[in-house]
Structure 1
Amino acid sequence: MSEAREDSATAVSLRGDDDGRVERALHTNGFSLADEAEAAFVVAVGERALVETARERPERPILPVDVDGRHAVSRANVDAAFGGLVESDRRTVEHPLLSVTVDGDRVADAVFDVMLVTSEPARISEYAVRVGGDPLDAFRADGVVVATPLGSSGYARAAGGPIVTPGAGVGVVPVSPFSTHSDAWVVDDPVSLSVERDEGAVSLVVDGDRTTAVDPHVPVTIEPTDSVRLLSPPARE
């Protein structure tokens, strides 16, 4: 391997709120910091850095640090993880980006999850879910969340949803449903959410950020239209 190839293989772009541990671990394991165009991969520290980086659709794979989920490294384990990232061990997984539109107008891309949720605590509304244009269910609840595989281990999991494996689709989970017997689903077609009856203002929340209010019967469509590559942590971590 030439010196130029070695330099390229060990150059890393670092983004996010690092307290110094991640950068030190990179240097300890022979990596150097570089601009993204010259880097072998991007290290995104924290959920906000991962969301911003993924939405830019980088050509390089992303290694999430200090983010919930299987495809992430904890800040406490960065030394072991970086030590295992020799060039031959760099496996990647495709992660979907969800396009979110309200009444046909695109408002955001989602990396983790999309929620319709009442703006006031403990206010129940009625939500309808359609998949691929066909009705799936309707229920009274505080809200409903659609989660990517990466986001399925976060808020959706806390609401009672399943862990979704990469490539399986997205999870659809009612949030605090009024009924004691409610379902959650994993679907692989575009999802449409709507408020059938509201008892208070309902907000659209994308990756933790409130984006807009949603009126009754206005469709919110969520579908994977793109993807980014995540760098899987070494199995021995």
Structure 2
Amino acid sequence: MTEFRAALAGDDGTLRGAVEAAGGRVVAGDADPDAVVTLGERALVETALGNPSAPVLPIDAGDGRHAVRRVDAEAALAALADGRGRTESRATLSVTVDGDRRARAALDATLMTVEPARISEYAVSEGDGEPIARVRSDGVVVATPAGSSGYARAAGGSVLAPGTGLSVVPVSPFATTVDTWVVDDEAVVRVERDDCDVQLIVDGETAGVVPPKADVRVAVDGHVPFLRVSPSAVSSRRRR
């Protein structure tokens, strides 16, 4: 059987030990690895947006739906080494403000009032169409499926399967009935009215202030291969 070769990102010693315990070998990113294994959300984001040299296996970057839990790292890597994994395509995003590119995202982009509990009004559109909603809230988050199990889920959104679109979720809306939306590959969010400054946060990093009436366009701009190991494969390896 061919030896499993893994490049690492964000490792604190956990991944190297897990790769070696699974019978694999750690190699450099330019040494034709079978996988790039990342530890933590920041390493995942930087790897996914940096043209990885192999499919990405994220560890400890979410609640287990789109990433492997740290405790399961060795079992997941052993399952991959046995050929019990599959590749899935995950979207990356471009984020522009009135046509000017601010950032790229692997997980999510959020508009949020700078001061806590200050309400602003947002219009949400799918592409260049008419608004599908106007909502008064602290903010709005737009997430890829990989990011839908993070902040978007905490705000009340659904966890999306790969390839099913983008999750759009208001944050702390001022309403008794709360809607969330799933759009195909592009969402436009506009600040219609603000009681204080609204900032743009992309994959957890601040990307500046957004002025009223500016169109914040969050659109799929590419795809990155991710590795997925089924829970049954992980649990069967753990029991051995």
Task: Provide runs of 4+ in structure 1 moved above 6 Å.
Answer: none
- Map Cα deviations across residues 62-95 of structure 1 (whole Å, 9 max, x no partner): 0000111413111111121111113532311100
* 1:21 counterpart residue number: 14
Task: Report whether the alignment pairs 1:103 with 2:98.
Answer: yes
- Map Cα deviations across residues 194-227 of structure 1 (whole Å, 9 max, x no partner): 1000000100000111111000001100110101
Aligned residues: 230
* 2:84 counterpart residue number: 89
Report how far residue 17 of structure 1 moved.
3.9
RMSD (Å) for aligned C-alpha atoms: 1.3
* Structure 2 residue identity aligned to 1:204: L
CA distance in 1, matches of 2:53, 2:205: 26
* Structure 2 residue identity aligned to 1:52: E
* Structure 1 residue identity aligned to 2:220: P
Task: Report whether the alignment pairs 1:148 with 2:144.
Answer: yes
Report how far residue 148 of structure 1 moved.
0.6
- Map Cα deviations across residues 155-193 of structure 1 (whole Å, 9 max, x no partner): 111111111111110000000001111200111041111
* Structure 1 residue identity aligned to 2:106: V
* 1:43 counterpart residue number: 37
* 2:210 counterpart residue number: 214
CA distance in 1, matches of 2:85, 2:159: 24
Structure 2 unmatched runs, 5+? 235-240
CA distance in 2, matches of 1:226, 1:45: 22
CA distance in 1, matches of 2:159, 2:173: 19
CA distance in 2, matches of 1:125, 1:17: 40
Please, which of 156, 159, 165 is the counterpart of residue 155 of structure 2?
A: 159
CA distance in 2, matches of 1:83, 1:90: 10
Sequence identity (%)? 49
CA distance in 2, matches of 1:204, 1:37: 34
Please, which of 133, 136, 148 is the counterpart of residue 137 of structure 1?
A: 133
Structure 1 unmatched runs, 5+? none
Task: Report whether the alignment pairs 1:226 with 2:222.
Answer: yes
The 1:77–1:88 alpha-carbon spacing in structure 2 relative to 1, beyond 3 Å, is closer
CA distance in 2, matches of 1:168, 1:227: 13
Specify the SS of the correspondent of 1:122: coil
* 1:193 counterpart residue number: 189
Task: Report whether the alignment pairs 1:58 with 2:55.
Answer: no
CA distance in 1, matches of 2:178, 2:187: 18
> For the Cα contact (< 8 Å) 1:71–1:230, is it kept in 2?
no
CA distance in 2, matches of 1:173, 1:182: 9
CA distance in 1, matches of 2:154, 2:122: 19
Q: Structure 1-normalised TM-score?
A: 0.93
Q: Structure 2-normalised TM-score?
A: 0.92
